[in-house]
Structure 1
Amino acid sequence: MSWLSLLSPARTSFLQSVNQLAETNIHYASLGYNPSSGILTVSFLIGLFLYAASLKKLLQSDRIFLRKILFTCIGVGILEAVYGLLQATNPHLGVLWLNDIRQFKGMARGTIIYKNQYAALLNMIWPLAVGAALLLFKAPPKKNKQKRNKRKSATSDVGTHRLRGFLFLFLASIIMLAVLFSQSRGGTLSMLLILSILLIGLPVSAKNKLLLSGFFILITLSYGSIIGFTSILDRFMLIQQGGETRFNIWLSSLPMLQDHQLVGTGIGSYILLSAIYLKQFPENIAFDRAHNDYLEFAIELGLPLSLFFLCALIIILFLQIKKIWPYTRKELSRLPSPAIVSLVSSAAIIGFLAHGIVDFGWRLPANLLYVTTLFILLQHGTRLSSHVVSSKPPPSRPGGRANKKRKMPGRLG
């Protein structure tokens, strides 16, 4: 208790009150209010680290494994999107065996209960479908074009690749449509942010960027009009009310952070303390999340550890994007496949991080699995880019050794 009084005075005062009221004699206690949740979280993070190391090794050893990852993620996204669109058209369709969720009826949720976490998941998948389409839009190798006897087959291959590319763009638009009909305002704004980043950073002409955005708009209006946009528009009309509610939750959560600045309250303890600190809300309403991942991280981890984590994450992401940024000024046909995937992965990661400001997508283990996958795909592309740059021969200088060798015979003569 003496150590705890220095690290977390607020928790010490709570324990002293327990000793007085319950007539107990607690001398030792954990730093966090929910230590079992912390142990489970650490175990999951260890498994996530092993998954990342295995994925990185497989991408380096198997060149086809990159496409396998893309197809797997896109397949999961399509299943979730179709399930969510069925929920939007059939309000009585629940989430798997859970059919008594009245507040989310008519909203696309797929196999995830909370619609904002569902939207965050799909926003990490549909950019990969765009990346798969770009891989197919790349020009075929030149050696196939130079052979006259294979011109017809080469032309048919190009047409087949373009047709498959448009198919992946169609799949991406279906997933985006599910994000829209989840009625997640944060998810929709994050989707627009990701699309804007892709339109700015993709190494394609301005004409193709307009065609890409027009394709997405056309599919969304065509298929979305069948379901109807009334519920989505009504949801966005309440964005001011929802913003005020979130802002009040943040203000009410700040005293929790002030009382536990150094070591935090512990992972999974926000729901235990929200009933004590959030006094401006009705007693029958319990908030298990702060609707801001970064504020909740600061409350549960403490300011030093949370700031270190966020700063390290931003610096790592910035350095990775800095390595692949030169690829945005090159032609699409000259880019290697991992570089294209890394470009779309970086946009998806930025959208996921931005969505965490108003929701809690980080708290879903499936989302952590997919964002880890995106980081490994991004790193795989940057590793290849640095390898390509380092493998280029250094340019010859006027006073270099090679020029001296060529001038030496003239001097001897």
Structure 2
Amino acid sequence: MIEASPRIARLERGLFYTFLVLLFWLPIPLGSHRPWAWALLEVWSFCLLGGWLLVNTYSPRLHTLKPFAPLLALFALFQFWVGLQVLPLPIGLLEMLSPERAGHFLSANPEAISGTLSLDPNQTRVGLLKGLSYWCLLFLAVALVNTPQRLKQAALVIVITGTFQAFYGVLLALSGSETTWILGFPNNTIATGGFLYKNHFGNFLVLCLCFGIGLLIASLSRRQAGSVREFLRGTLATLMNGKAVVRLCLAMMVIGLVMSHSRMANTAFFASLSITGVLGLLLIRKKSRSLTVLLASLLVIDLFIVGSWFGVEKLKNRLENTSFSGETRDEVVRDGLRLLEQYPLAGTGGGSFYSSFPAVKGADIQSFYDQAHNDYLQFAIEFGLPATLLLGVAVLWSLFHAFNALRQRRDSLMQGMAFAAVMAIIAELIMLLTDFHLQAPATAVYFLLCLALAWQARFMPAEKRAG
């Protein structure tokens, strides 16, 4: 790579810090799940990419992204498909890709020569712009977060963001205020932070918790304690330095997670922590006793001590009293499958679920559902099975690299980040079963960061140590 001039280096450094500011901002305006908020996200991300391309013009560095090319290509191919959904296609091609959709056009106009795959082209265009901004941020995550030091800084910003959201959510829930302090939405004793929907808030905190746990694991000493005195001395040193601050941030986020009363987010967090903890103990080479102590403390302290003060018993009762007879989400899945049967290959078009679902909704569903409350089903309905499987390949490939990093990397930071990536992907795969988390831009972007983290943990060169 050609050495950059001081001015170009400052520009590139400024882009990195502006990227971090964006990460902090994303969850604040209702998870960026409003048109004006995601419009700001789009402009911000496109400008950042434009700035990076300018830097690359004077200091070529595109070749450094070669290890991440498959991940970027898979998501670029997916966005190409979404763009194809809104393009007018010849009626013959439309009949091949979506006979049902072609039949609609021909029944309305037997002379029709073209038509779109999407049932709601306007919403698909909106989704396409959002998707392109997501791709830009995925690209920037691997292009700007290009050193171990920056990786650590980005993870720390994500932990700070989650802590801020948790603190604000808990404070607001305990305040007794009838409305939120910002935008004046109804408020109760359930923590939602900058989000409007408690499950989105819980999901977001889980992803931030994964980064925090990864940072803690990265900071553990790899030196084996020879005696009880050395072990106690190392533990005391941990409490006296910055690791203790990260540990307090994790405790704050766990309080926020429990007070969100999100059943699936809490279940996914503790399930993914348990699964990844066992995998970490099996796969990480030269693990220290402190790793086992840390993982045990995360489960015991957070669940049984912190949780008991802030409502884990209420959450337990809600889980025990959960009944599908009082829910209609399973009926939504049932009727949604009918849409999937009608449009299995091409889908109904990105963002079209809310307008296409009423046509197949059963009489036993009285509520209006603008989302499927199951992202697996919604993606399959809107984008078709092949495109959804393409995304599945990207996620599972990322998980594969995270596993390999956990097993093969010797660097403590890369091991910690690999642990965070594995845990985040497992947790998200669980949570997507019962809600529409990836429809919220803040959550979607943070999950993409987790996928990028898996590849970075596998391929990023370790930090060179003096001596």
The TM-score range, normalised by the shorter chain, is 0.7 to 0.9
Shift of residue 132, structure 1, vs aligned partner = 1.9
Q: Distance in 1 between matches of 2:325 and 2:193?
A: 23
2:390 to 292, 308, 328: 308
Q: Which of 354, 379, 384 is residue 430 of structure 2 equivalent to?
A: 354
Identity %: 22
Quickly say closer, same or farther: Cα 1:91–1:291, change in 2 above 3 A. Answer: farther
Aligned to 1:165: 243
Give the corresponding residue for 1:192: 270
The correspondence for 2:451, drawn from 340, 360, 375, is 375
Aligned to 2:261: 183
Structure 1: how far apart are the matches of 2:163 and 2:341?
44
Give secondary structure in 2 for the equivalent of 1:337: helix
| Runs of 5+ unmatched residues, structure 2 | 1-90, 224-232, 282-286
Counterpart amino acid of 2:210?
Answer: P
Per the alignment, residue 11 of structure 1 pairs with 101
SS at match of 1:265: coil
Find the partner of 1:218 among 277, 298, 301: 301
* CA displacement at 1:164 relative to structure 2: 2.8
CA RMSD of aligned residues (A): 3.3
Uncovered stretches (5+) of structure 1, i.e. residues with no partner? 141-154, 329-333, 389-413
- Matches of 2:131 and 2:208 in 1, distance apart? 21
Listed one character per residue, the Cα deviations across residues 105-158 of structure 1 (whole Å, up to 9, x for unaligned) are 322211111221211111111121122222333258xxxxxxxxxxxxxx8998
CA distance in 2, matches of 1:220, 1:26: 62
TM-score by length of 2: 0.68
CA distance in 1, matches of 2:237, 2:348: 58
Quote the residue 2:368 is aligned against: 286
- C-alpha contact (below 8 Å) 1:133/1:164 kept by paired residues: no
> Counterpart in 2 of 1:264?
347
Equivalence for 1:152: none
Offset, 1:201: 3.0
Return the alpha-carbon distance in structure 1 between the equivalents of residues 220 and 207 of structure 2. 21
Offset, 1:223: 4.0
Q: Given residue 317 of structure 1, which amino acid in structure 2 is its aligned partner? A: S
Q: Aligned partners of 1:267, 1:279: CA distance in 2, in Å?
A: 22
Residue 156 (structure 2) pairs with residue 71 (structure 1): yes
The alpha-carbon distance between structure 1 residues 75 and 207, as it changes in their structure 2 partners (threshold 3 A), is closer
Aligned residue type for 1:267: G
Contact 1:87–1:93, Cα closer than 8 Å, also in 2:
no
Structure 1 residues 68 and 183, CA, compared in 2 at 3 Å: closer, same or farther?
Answer: same
Q: Which has the larger Rg?
A: 1
Amino acid at match of 2:154: I
Give the partner amino acid of 2:152.
Answer: R
What is the CA-CA distance between 1:270 and the residue it aligns to? Answer: 0.5
Contact 1:341 1:381 in 2 (8 A): yes
- What TM-score, normalized by structure 1, do the two folds share? 0.76
| 2:211 aligned partner | 128
Name the CA distance, whole Å, in 2 between partners of 1:77 and 1:242.
34
Determine if the alignment matches structure 1 residue 41 to structure 2 residue 127. yes
Q: How many matched pairs?
A: 361
Is the 1:264–1:302 Cα contact (8 Å) retained in structure 2? yes
Q: 1:216 to 1:156 in 2, by over 3 A?
A: closer
Residue number in structure 2 paired with 1:276? 359
Assess if the C-alpha contact under 8 Å between 1:83 and 1:110 holds in 2: yes
Residue 164 of structure 2 aligns with an amino acid whose one-letter code is L
